[in-house]
Amino acid sequence: MSGTSKQLWGWYPTDRIWIPLQVDDEGRVIVDMSGISLGDIGDVDTTGAVEGDMLYYDAASSTWILVRRANLANILAALTILTDLADVAVIAPGDGEALIWDAATTLWTPMALAPGIHTLAANTCIWREYTNRVSSTARTATVSSIAGDVITLTANEAYRFGDWGAAPEYMNAANVLLKIQNTTRSEFAWMKA
């Protein structure tokens, strides 16, 4: 057995022989991957692949197998309800609940939205509580319209505060229901009771 400079010998268990390996200047093995295809990987079966085929993981055989594009529709057609999916909990959702990832069960589970997420409907009354050196008049606002992410309040009842958390009014962030900051950095806030 003879070798050349920058060569390493490696055991090839399939043929039970030692084979020469090339190494670079830093001693890393140089591997030629040009002759290896996806189907050469042990857990991938690409036998009979044609244009448009996709790989699908088959848990029963622990193998990636081919799926014809036409057959994909059959797989998707078998999913008739959301809970047909393996990672969705089979629990009837309550009104207003959303699917939330539950790390403990590793399932998407119907749950109430976390506190702090508020759904406003038209004509919802929003009010604030405060201590003000200038005025003690309570202000209220009504949601006049909702279009997408835009909530329009009755403009004549908006009240301007000072800088957030600063004089003349100190605002408790825990009580904030809605805060609006405009381009001049004047800040407006409505507080929950």
Nearest-angstrom CA–CA distance, 99 and 154: 34
How large is the average pLDDT for residues 2-25? 76
What are 19's two structure tokens? Answer: 């084979």
CB 55 within 8 A of CB 67: yes
SS3 71: helix
Angstrom distance (rounded) from CA 168 to CA 133: 7
Average pLDDT, integer, range 118-134: 45
Return phi, psi of residue 188, to 5°. Answer: -120, 145
Average pLDDT (85-89) is 82
| Percent over 70 (pLDDT), the chain | 49
Overall average pLDDT of the 19-37 stretch:
78
Three-class SS of residue 133? coil
* Cα distances (Å, whole numbers) of residue 193 to 86, 168, 170: 43, 20, 16
Distance CA(58)–CA(40), nearest Å, equals 17
Residue type, 109: T
| pLDDT at residue 128 tops 50 | no
DSSP string, 84-109: GSTTB---PPPTT-EEEEETTTTEEE
- pLDDT single digits (tens) 44-58: 888 888 888 888 788
pTM above 0.85, yes or no: no
DSSP 8-state secondary structure symbol assigned to residue 115: T
For 142-172, what is each residue's pLDDT tens digit?
Answer: 666 666 656 666 544 444 433 334 433 444 4
User: Which phi and psi angles does 99 have, rounded to 5°?
Assistant: -75, 120
